[in-house]
Amino acid sequence: MQAIALYDLDRTVTRAPTFTPFLVHMAASGNPLRLLAVPFWLLAMLGYKVKAYGRKPLKQFGLRLLVGRVVRSPALQPRIDAFVQRQLARNIQPGARAQIAADRAAGVRLALVTAAPEIYAVQIAAALGFDACIATRHLRDAAGNLLALIDGANNYGAEKVARVEEWLAAEGLARADCHLTAYTDHASDAPILDFADAGVLVGRYAKPERGWAQVDWSGEAG
């Protein structure tokens, strides 16, 4: 039986969300005049809150507005690297680091399963020792640069289950031969929590449902 741990990123492995800070970082470190567009991003998030549109168009709009048509390229990579290093230094929950280390020591395979974009999620996952990163994918141009346009669906809700099933198949693993543990901070991830053999809500104020467990990773003990 292969033990696999599926970790969400924002507010699970990290203390705080990463997407808006990424947009602001890329604007500030590139063309600071783009920061003048931040109020339009805030208005766009309000539009999402009132269900005027979904997460995919919202994220594409934010990336195009504050980063540009191309969102990862050799020219942009040093700025992305700086953002990743900042997240690793300041935004990782101590308990998450402890659990990741314990899982690796026990021979558990680790997958970061997140709606965050592959633009930076892949690097965070690699730095933390994950075996795989299942993030929101982006279209590429002819040179292989990532574009602001999302490839397929935003990796959120039920899409996470579909992507994990896709990954298991690619790894030659049958679901019946795996024991999955899913860690996430919110019940909006109910599909992946229910898909797993063990669902764990992360956070001091998380409200476990349907037999899910709860942990607080804000301290060293996890």
pLDDT tens digits for range 92-112: 999 999 999 999 999 999 999
Q: What is the pLDDT of residues 153-171, one digit of tens each?
A: 999 999 999 999 999 999 9
Strand order in the sheet with 146-150: 70-72, 146-150, 138-140
> Strand, coil or helix: what is 114?
strand
Report d(CA 48, CA 40) in Å as an integer: 12
Q: What is the pLDDT of residue 222?
A: 45
Q: What is the pLDDT of residue 221?
A: 47
Report d(CA 174, CA 52) in Å as an integer: 39
| Mean pLDDT of the chain, nearest integer | 95
Residue 210 predicted with pLDDT over 90: no
Report d(CA 78, CA 194) in Å as an integer: 39
Q: In which band, very low, low, confident or very high, does the pLDDT at 220 lie, cut at 50, 70 and 90?
A: low
Domains of the chain, CATH where assigned:
2-215 (3.40.50.1000)
Q: What is the pLDDT of residue 168?
A: 97
Q: In which band, very low, low, confident or very high, does the pLDDT at 187 lie, cut at 50, 70 and 90?
A: confident
What CA–CA distances, in Å, run from 168 to 68, 87, 88, 178, 206?
34, 28, 27, 9, 28
Residue whose entry in the numeric block shows the structure tokens 């030659």: 172
Mean pLDDT of 29-36: 94
pTM of the model: 0.94
Beta strand pairing call for 146-150 and 70-72: antiparallel
> Strand, coil or helix: what is 121?
helix
Selected residue with higher pLDDT from 207 and 84: 84
Long-range pairs for 90-94: beta carbons < 8 A, 24 or more residues apart: 91/14, 91/15, 91/16, 91/18, 92/13, 92/14, 92/15, 92/128, 93/12, 93/13, 93/14, 93/15, 93/202, 93/217, 93/218, 94/217, 94/218, 94/219, 94/220, 94/222
How many Cα atoms sit within 13 Å of 82 on the Cβ side? 14
CA 10 to chain centre: 6
Question: What percentage of the chain exceeds 90 in pLDDT?
Answer: 93
How many Cα atoms sit within 13 Å of 117 on the Cβ side? 27
Q: What is the pLDDT of residue 6?
A: 98
